[in-house]
Amino acid sequence: MTARRVLITVPHTYKREAPYLGRLEAAGLEVERRIGRQGKMTEDELRSALPGVFATLASSEPYTERVFREAPDLRVVARWGVGFDAIDVNAATSHGVVVCTSVGANHEAVADYAFSLMCAVQRGVLRNHRLITGGQWKTEFHRGLWRATVGIVGLGRIGQAVARRCRGFDMTILAYEPYPDREFVRQYSVELMSLEDLLRRADLVTLHCPATAENRHVINRERLALMKPTAHLVNTARGALVDESALHEALVTGRIAGAGLDVFEKEPLHDSALFGLDNVVLAPHVAGIDETSEVAMANRAIDAILAMWRGEAPPKECVVNPEVLSPR
């Protein structure tokens, strides 16, 4: 019998109404929601859940070679999100599994949050909150956003959305991007430059590049040393981009002024030396999630699953490994 189960591993859908899942049921698929004992499924939990599963609407659980090898019915992993660093794409390809992302569904939400963190750290929002709740009524001066210099590392969909917001604040926009959209660069007066020059000049550095092997710890001790002592770092991309030990040192010693972080090297983050610092603003990997993007990302992933169920190709911009779809 053809496998018709779809495994939903996105934690927030577990005990919450998610009307968009009805699209799968209307197509004759069986929906099973499951999360791990610690929230995110482990490799072993995923392996035990996948027999008889045609597709997953996936969170950030690990799709390893072993997982794919033991899931002969699996045909598509559709990410509720745009990152796929938890998926061994080569292993998926060798086992004939299509990997899809929800590209284009949440970049505006991430840009909103990145800009919110920029505002929070630059204007001392959390510091002011702690002052007044601690019984102190006083004025502290912080740097402003208007006409500040922002350095955007990665000028793809999200980086461009951040740049558009920065233009509204009359900010000088610097960017490091190996493959820039020249028309966008011209339209928004973006100055392209090396990462090192960007770090030296920017008042705010915001990361929007992928977590590739080459980009691991792209922000390390040496590069943090290039930043202004008054500068802030914002990361809403992936935790692996930043050496957290080096960042903690830079924050404690005043090498940089502060940071706004939505992502971390190890997630969930239950304990960290960062917790005791008053020059950081932390969030639990939620930048891309708001009420609008939730539905958009889910529907993007479901579109891919339904296309595969009908024997069709998902939208090409969503497919990470299109060679799986090529005729053999």
Rounded to whole angstroms, the Cα distance separating 263 from 267 reads 8
Task: Express each pLDDT in 173-190 by its tens digit.
Answer: 999 999 999 999 999 999
User: Token pair of 218, please?
Assistant: 């792209």
Task: Express each pLDDT in 27-37 by its tens digit.
Answer: 999 999 998 88
Does residue 39 register a pLDDT over 80? no
| Catalytic residue list contains 183 | no
* Catalytic hit among 223, 285, 294, 300: 285
Is residue 193 within 8 A of residue 176, CB to CB? The reply is: yes
State which amino acid sits at residue 109. A
* Catalytic hit among 32, 249, 265, 267: 267
| Catalytic residue list contains 4 | no
Check: pTM over 0.75? Answer yes or no: yes
| Catalytic residue list contains 285 | yes
Question: Average of pLDDT values for 57-66?
Answer: 96
Beta-carbon contacts of residue 184 (< 8 Å; ≥ 6 apart): 155, 160, 163, 190
* Catalytic hit among 238, 255, 294, 300: 238
Mean residue pLDDT of the chain comes to 95
Domains, the chain, in order of start with CATH, read: 5-105+290-325 (3.40.50.720), 107-282 (3.40.50.720)
Q: Give pLDDT, residue 1.
A: 47
Backbone angles phi, psi at 104, to 5 degrees: 85, 0
Measure Cα distances from 192 to 154, 159, 220, 285 in Å: 11, 13, 21, 28
